[in-house]
Amino acid sequence: MYKQGDVKLKSGVLKVETTDLISVVVISFNSEKFIEDTLKSIAQQTYPLIELIITDDASKDETLTVAEEWLKSNSQRFVNSIILSSNENQGIPNNLNRGIRNANGKYVKHIAADDMLAPTCLEMSYNFCEKNNYSIFFSNVLWFYDSWETGEKRILKWEKDFFEKSINEKKNQLCCQNILYSPTAFYKKELIEEMGYFDEGYKYMEDYPMWVKILESGYDIAGDNIISVFYRRHQEALSDFECSRQIVNKQFYKDEKRFFYNKRLPVLLENGNRKNILYTKINYFFYDLIIFSGNRKNVFSKVLIKIRDAILNHIK
């Protein structure tokens, strides 16, 4: 059994300061093609004391087999390693929460099982939080398509002055638009525990509600202009929602719309941000029309999108 100051190893117990341990939670679902890249990037971190937790949401492919085989040869790199799995698909927040609840580290870094960590991701994130006394930290993303060696690449940066604003200003801006890159999030486990873990009511949108809740609770969010994560876009990630044929991801849209009316809209009304409200409602109106008309890429949907874009551009 884990005790404060101890971290279990298969070969015994290694004495470490628990504040020095970072738990990396890999959230997977049908990730057999890419999870080994993810695991290699974690093993290659410059930060020494890492706990690896792989939590799988009922994958139908060989994700767990690939992970198990990789750990047979690489588990010695980690202070502790564990694989968790579910018998049925329960959604991203549930899968992530399962990993966090089993984490022993002071800090948690979650990553999808198709993305990769930059080599100094954990070291830079940890040092920034410890030096500046922050409980949660964000950074920039290097986006790439499919293959790291041959795919298109692009750096995604957050708005330059966002992290210089007050907690309330950040909350208000975040309620207008989620500008934080979730794959870069690095946070104290105790912060997520205090927030009651990620909201499992939003099955396909784990990040946005949490970041707003943290700011509402009076905790500040920090960021630095470094690249910490390599974010992979690929066809397999889109196929679950038939995005090659569908226009609107109906499951994500349902969560997004509910969060808008439950949380974002009251803040926008309080701040008199009627332009953002109008913009969002018009966008939702056309999404609803597209879904009602079959949610397929055809001439009619293309016309609807052109009309929507013309209206939204006028509002801007």
Q: pLDDT digits over 238-272, tens only?
A: 444 444 567 898 989 999 999 999 999 999 999 99
- The reply to whether 173 and 74 lie within a common domain is yes
Q: What per-residue confidence (pLDDT) applies to 20?
A: 84
Q: Which two tokens stand for residue 105?
A: 């580290």
Label the pairing between strands 116-117 and 222-233.
Answer: antiparallel
User: Who wins on pLDDT, 95 or 315?
Assistant: 95
CB atoms within 10 A of CB 101: 15
Q: What per-residue confidence (pLDDT) applies to 157?
A: 72
pLDDT band with cut points at 50, 70 and 90 for residue 4: very low
Looking at 187, 210, 234, which one is the last position of a domain?
A: 234
Nearest to 79 by CA among 113, 106, 101: 106
Whether residue 209 is contained in a domain is answered as yes
- The reply to whether 15 and 94 lie within a common domain is yes
- The reply to whether 163 and 55 lie within a common domain is yes
**Three-point CA angle 74, 79, 84, nearest 5°:** 75
- The reply to whether 183 and 156 lie within a common domain is yes
The sign of the CA dihedral 201, 203, 207, 208 is: negative
Helix 63-74 to helix 35-43 angle, to the nearest 10 degrees? Answer: 30
Q: What per-residue confidence (pLDDT) applies to 19?
A: 62
Averaged over 67-76, what is the pLDDT? Answer: 96
Q: What per-residue confidence (pLDDT) applies to 146?
A: 60
From residue 281, alpha-carbon distances to 95, 263, 265, 308, 311 in Å are 31, 14, 10, 11, 12
State pLDDT tens for residues 158-167.
777 899 999 9
Average pLDDT score, the chain: 87
Averaged over 125-140, what is the pLDDT? Answer: 94
CA 34/CA 32 separation, integer angstroms: 6
Q: What per-residue confidence (pLDDT) applies to 199?
A: 96
Whether residue 240 is contained in a domain is answered as no
Reduce the DSSP state of residue 245 to 3 states and report it.
coil
Whether residue 226 is contained in a domain is answered as yes
Residues with Cβ < 8 Å from 277, sequence gap 6 or more?
265, 268, 269
CB 136 within 8 Å of CB 222: yes
Q: What per-residue confidence (pLDDT) applies to 14?
A: 35
Whether residue 245 is contained in a domain is answered as no
pLDDT band with cut points at 50, 70 and 90 for residue 155: confident
- The reply to whether 202 and 229 lie within a common domain is yes
CA 93/CA 199 separation, integer angstroms: 6
The helix (run of H) or strand (run of E) holding residue 175 is helix 167-176
Q: What per-residue confidence (pLDDT) applies to 316?
A: 74
**Which phi and psi angles does 296 have, rounded to 5°?**
-120, 150
- The reply to whether 56 and 186 lie within a common domain is yes
- The DSSP string of 110-121 is EEETT-EE-TTH
Q: What per-residue confidence (pLDDT) applies to 211?
A: 97
Looking at 210, 234, 258, which one is the last position of a domain?
A: 234
Whether residue 244 is contained in a domain is answered as no
Averaged over 181-198, what is the pLDDT? Answer: 96
Q: What is the CATH number of the domain that holds 68?
A: 3.90.550.10
Q: What per-residue confidence (pLDDT) applies to 154?
A: 72
Averaged over 10-27, what is the pLDDT? Answer: 64
Percent of the chain exceeding pLDDT 90 equals 74
Averaged over 33-39, what is the pLDDT? Answer: 95
- The reply to whether 182 and 225 lie within a common domain is yes
- The reply to whether 66 and 178 lie within a common domain is yes
Whether residue 1 is contained in a domain is answered as no
Whether residue 243 is contained in a domain is answered as no
Q: What per-residue confidence (pLDDT) applies to 235?
A: 59
Q: Which domain holds residue 127?
A: 6-234
- The reply to whether 103 and 197 lie within a common domain is yes
Q: What per-residue confidence (pLDDT) applies to 156?
A: 72
Q: pTM score, two decimals? A: 0.87
Averaged over 275-288, what is the pLDDT? Answer: 96
- Judge whether residue 226 has pLDDT over 60: yes
Reduce the DSSP state of residue 251 to 3 states and report it.
helix
- The DSSP string of 269-287 is HHTT-HHHHHHHHHHHHHH
- The reply to whether 304 and 213 lie within a common domain is no
Whether residue 304 is contained in a domain is answered as yes
Averaged over 91-110, what is the pLDDT? Answer: 96
Residues with Cβ < 8 Å from 151, sequence gap 6 or more?
144, 145
pLDDT band with cut points at 50, 70 and 90 for residue 83: very high
CB 101 within 8 Å of CB 192: no
- Judge whether residue 143 has pLDDT over 60: yes
> How many domains does one find in the chain?
2
